[in-house]
Structure 1
């Protein structure tokens, strides 16, 4: 059984969670072939800290959870940019959904995905991930359905390497995901989780305004040199 979070494991907020991911990812600092892709909205503040500290590019991987209509907290699957769709067969067996209701959820979440694409990226050209090292970041995983959809969307573009970095995920989810990617960074892997927010002191919702602000700050800074990897280790 998972123990209660200790002062050493509890995450103050998403920025703190991002800073805890920096050291395990130091080998990727200052590399032009590396890009961090945040899963909005909650993954953006986490990813921003990583991209800023390592002086690497930041962008988005748009993903939407497909919640069971009667139990929205349960993911029956997920969709991602590029028409990627992943199903959670266990959730669908536990909470059967007819095709019409399933399609309605897909349609709604696709519309929201497209809205976020337009609002957040503001006309930036589509991502080009071929031969790139891609680091996918979120604020935590529960079932892992959204992250798995993101992994499939990235893999479709033939990257050189796929890394997933998250501050917390249940052990079973982490192990399932580890077999799907080249590297998994996850400092906290409790055997079970009541919720991702249980491991945060502040897990307040990330707003569209915060996402846009962090992205603009990151994009403005991309051409400014950052500290060396050795300097990061000395902090």
Structure 2
């Protein structure tokens, strides 16, 4: 169990002890992932930024991800997506448009706080506060892989083992603290899993960037 998202990020950082990382960059999937990512980045002395991806929702069960779309417009569809009741080309087009609009809204918010980080040639860790189907993480990995990181790592506090195995095919490695055979809900692995709102995610990124810039300024005697 994790006390909260910050505790999850700190526990996740323990999996990286002794690993050599090149100019490490933690990319968090908003909104909850930003809190987890900040704690992880702080422990690794890494830069923190966001990567934007949104799940494509099933028509009658919006919590079920039938795919996801990334900030570059790339799309991932689960194998079962078109077998779900109500899913057709028209539905997918409408859902995709809605999620891309939300991505653009979030892009404007986060880029007002921090310009996009350089990706190429770096150890890039994509993180969230937990995953179930892995659809959103897959979309995020596809976005970042195209930008040529030195290595691409998916890191989450909790994931089913089959999802972690799927992710492994789309990145260099997967780091996960807990891999329960039956996941249930991600929130079930946290004592505190209150929803993270836009302002909290923005403030977390803003404070982390400010503190990092202060650390990078040489002290004058």
When normalised by structure 1's length, the TM-score is: 0.86
Query: Counterpart of 2:137?
Result: 147
Gaps of 5+ in 2: 217-221
Q: Please tell me the root mean square deviation across aligned C-alpha atoms, in Å.
A: 1.8
Change (3 A) 1:197 1:212: same
Which SS does the other structure have where 1:191 is aligned? coil
Of the candidates 162, 165, 169, which is equivalent to residue 179 of structure 1?
169
Contact 1:28 1:34 (C-alpha < 8 Å) held by counterparts: no
In the alignment, structure 1 residue 112 sits paired with structure 2 residue 102:
yes
Query: Counterpart of 1:33?
Result: 23
Contact 2:73 2:100 (C-alpha < 8 Å) held by counterparts: no
Gaps of 5+ in 1: 1-9, 227-235
Cα distance in 1 between the residues matched to 2:7 and 2:138: 24
Contact 1:18 1:47 (C-alpha < 8 Å) held by counterparts: yes
Q: CA deviation at 1:96?
A: 4.8
In the alignment, structure 1 residue 20 sits paired with structure 2 residue 14:
no
Q: Counterparts of 1:63-78 in structure 2 under 5 Å?
A: 63-78=53-68
Contact 1:171 1:192 (C-alpha < 8 Å) held by counterparts: no
Cα distance in 2 between the residues matched to 1:212 and 1:183: 28
When normalised by structure 2's length, the TM-score is: 0.92
Which SS does the other structure have where 1:223 is aligned? helix
Count of aligned positions: 216
Contact 2:114 2:206 (C-alpha < 8 Å) held by counterparts: no
Cα distance in 1 between the residues matched to 2:150 and 2:86: 38
Structure 1 stretch displaced more, 120-129 or 180-189: 120-129
